[in-house]
Amino acid sequence: ECMLPFFMIFEGRRPQARELVIIAVLCAIGVAGRAAFFMLPQFKPVLALTIIAGIAFGGETGFLVGAMTMLASNVLFSQGPWTPW
């Protein structure tokens, strides 16, 4: 519900396939990093990827990388009411 406006803005500007591939690769790296380091309590590779994507490609892309990484990785770690926030 709170992520919907960001997704609508992103889809409204018709992103190129090149940008979508970069987002997908960053999300895949984030999911793999979260799965690989889940036992370390204060090591969060998703945060670093989200910040790098935001700086390199803009705030919308950074938000999308972080949101999609969390949604995709929660398939491994279970969804909950905390996911949209």
What is the value of pTM for the model shown? 0.79
Instruction: Please state the domain extents for the chain.
Output: 23-36+43-74
How far apart, in whole angstroms, are the C-alpha atoms of residue 11 and residue 43? 32
Q: What are 51-71's pLDDT values in tens digits?
A: 999 999 888 889 889 988 988
At residue 37 the predicted structure's pLDDT band, cuts being 50, 70 and 90, is confident
